[in-house]
Chains A and B, each alone.
Chain A
């Protein structure tokens, strides 16, 4: 067993080296902008860049709309399947796995061909429509994660009893979903939301092919034209991903308690 522990340490240290060297190297590289001394010049330039602010805000707003759209689609469906239509579960699970099977580039290619300006549903004919199509595309990308998060949340509460109790008290479907079910699965929904945010914020393929001024294409553009700023942006992106994942971890600690809450 002592030998086992030795090898466990070797594996762990090798793994840690592989994962931390690129991060250290990126931090170091991002601070090399001023000759001879380390400085935060690259970060200053990036954060002060108007296009950074504009594209980042664009992607944040797109992410928020994506989360709202995802919740509106997934929560009623997952709830209804638990309550009334359990026979549809395999079908819905299969559909929610499809975005992992069909690459994002194929999905957006399909959109471009199907919803072009000459089609019956010309999403791509206007700016608003294209923005909507991007949000829709992001919602499909996030579908597997959102559905799994919400379904896990619903599993921990007694959907049927809660629904019947609410009905006895005279609640309609709208009230049941927004005031009974949603608060009970809020933690799960938020976990799905932060994961969606992490996926969407730097997404490149869809935004680029739909010609949207999003953060992902901006990153790619900076990467092709600058030396030190990309490293600073990589660190910023890593911190954002880290932030989203930490929030999910923190939230998950609250999850069981909220699920067992009597009211």
Chain B
């Protein structure tokens, strides 16, 4: 007790100098994170805010909703609509195919090297996007592409005569899936690894069939991370431009290509409408990410 009171006394006696020292040290406390915050504010947050504010201003700098209202013109709505469709289709196809592959390599009883090879390849393929990916698909499913030619000569199936075109909605979706599936595999494999063996055994002990085990244990556990990843894939495809631009030029009118043309040459003849398009993109990917974070926190409960 005496010791305690003594130390308390000394603490009290010395209370002033450390507090003074701390107030002197305060700026250096922030020095370590200062470059990060200055960078983030100058080159990430302010430019974005600038565009978002610009979306609500006219040329004179007055507040207006005209730009947002002007987004409702048919060509812009069509661009948003096709962007959403391509992103959603590629995210869903990529998600289900990626989930199937992840389950196959984790639970399917395949040789071990297949698992590690698949994960390595997924790491590569999920980063193989942009312009080169478009070239690869032109060489595969373009009019003279290998797959097109083989389907035509060997199987007698002329896909272009049947309405397929690489420069179309399905062509772009099929191309995006090439980086969506591996991304799904990379993200969802840990979730499937997190399915504990004991749960399967417990279910079996309680007399569950395989179908019941999947329906009542596996799917509820994987569901949040699955949905979360679908949303991430959606946002991933929604902002992408390079692949689409190299693949289709400007023949497929998706939002990023419209914005690209607007930045290059003010094709809409209204600078602030460009801001509004950018604002719309941020709103859509932002909403998607809010849901992603929500699902992510729900899924983390099971994956400890």
Chain A contacts for B133, CB-based, 8 A:
234
Chain A contacts for B199, CB-based, 8 A:
none
Roughly how many angstroms separate A135 CA and B295 CA in the complex, as a whole number? 34
Chain B contacts for A98, CB-based, 8 A:
40, 44-45, 48
Within 8 A of B (CB), among A6-45: 7-9, 11-12, 15, 18-19, 21-26, 28-30
Roughly how many angstroms separate A74 CA and B282 CA in the complex, as a whole number? 25
Whether B33 contacts A76 by the Cβ 8 Å rule is yes
Whether B139 contacts A29 by the Cβ 8 Å rule is yes
Q: How far is the CB of A15 from chain B (nearest CB, A)?
A: 5
Question: Chain B 2-38 against A: per-residue CB contact (8 Å), 1 yes, 0 no?
Answer: 0000000000000000000000000001001101110
Whether B139 contacts A103 by the Cβ 8 Å rule is no
- Asked whether any CB of chain A lies closer than 8 Å to the CB of B208, the reply is no
- Asked whether any CB of chain A lies closer than 8 Å to the CB of B190, the reply is no
Whether B100 contacts A11 by the Cβ 8 Å rule is yes
Roughly how many angstroms separate A59 CA and B104 CA in the complex, as a whole number? 39
- Asked whether any CB of chain B lies closer than 8 Å to the CB of A238, the reply is yes
Chain A contacts for B281, CB-based, 8 A:
103, 105-106
Whether A107 contacts B48 by the Cβ 8 Å rule is yes
Among A18, A112, A244, max chain B CB count under 10 A is at: A18
Whether A92 contacts B139 by the Cβ 8 Å rule is no
Roughly how many angstroms separate A21 CA and B145 CA in the complex, as a whole number? 11
- Asked whether any CB of chain A lies closer than 8 Å to the CB of B223, the reply is no
- Asked whether any CB of chain B lies closer than 8 Å to the CB of A114, the reply is yes
Roughly how many angstroms separate A93 CA and B262 CA in the complex, as a whole number? 32
Which single residue of chain A is at the shortest CB-CB distance from B105?
Answer: A12
B71-79, B152-160, B234-242: which one contacts chain A?
B234-242
Chain B contacts for A108, CB-based, 8 A:
263
Roughly how many angstroms separate A100 CA and B44 CA in the complex, as a whole number? 11
Question: Chain B 130-156 against A: per-residue CB contact (8 Å), 1 yes, 0 no?
Answer: 111111111110001111000000000
Chain B contacts for A244, CB-based, 8 A:
127
Question: Is chain B's binding surface mostly helix, strand, loop or mixed?
Answer: helix
A60-68, A136-144, A253-261: which one contacts chain B?
A136-144
Whether B263 contacts A9 by the Cβ 8 Å rule is no
Roughly how many angstroms separate A37 CA and B120 CA in the complex, as a whole number? 34
- Asked whether any CB of chain A lies closer than 8 Å to the CB of B259, the reply is yes
Roughly how many angstroms separate A164 CA and B124 CA in the complex, as a whole number? 40
Question: Is chain A's binding surface mostly helix, strand, loop or mixed?
Answer: helix
Roughly how many angstroms separate A79 CA and B31 CA in the complex, as a whole number? 12
- Asked whether any CB of chain B lies closer than 8 Å to the CB of A128, the reply is no
Chain A contacts for B171, CB-based, 8 A:
none
Which single residue of chain A is at the shortest CB-CB distance from B139?
Answer: A29
Whether A231 contacts B135 by the Cβ 8 Å rule is yes
Whether B128 contacts A205 by the Cβ 8 Å rule is no
Roughly how many angstroms separate A28 CA and B100 CA in the complex, as a whole number? 29
Whether B130 contacts A216 by the Cβ 8 Å rule is yes
Question: Chain A 152-196 against B: per-residue CB contact (8 Å), 1 yes, 0 no?
Answer: 000000000000000000000000000000000000000000010
A–B Cβ pairs within 8 angstroms, 21 of them: A4-B109, A8-B107, A9-B108, A15-B101, A25-B146, A84-B29, A85-B32, A102-B48, A102-B282, A103-B285, A105-B281, A106-B51, A107-B47, A109-B274, A204-B241, A205-B256, A234-B132, A234-B133, A237-B131, A238-B128, A245-B123
Chain A residues engaging chain B, CB cutoff 8 angstroms: 1, 4-5, 7-9, 11-12, 15, 18-19, 21-26, 28-30, 72-74, 76-77, 79-81, 83-85, 88, 92, 95, 97-114, 136-137, 139-140, 143, 195, 198-199, 202-205, 208-209, 216, 219-220, 223-224, 230-231, 233-234, 237-238, 241-242, 244-246, 248-249
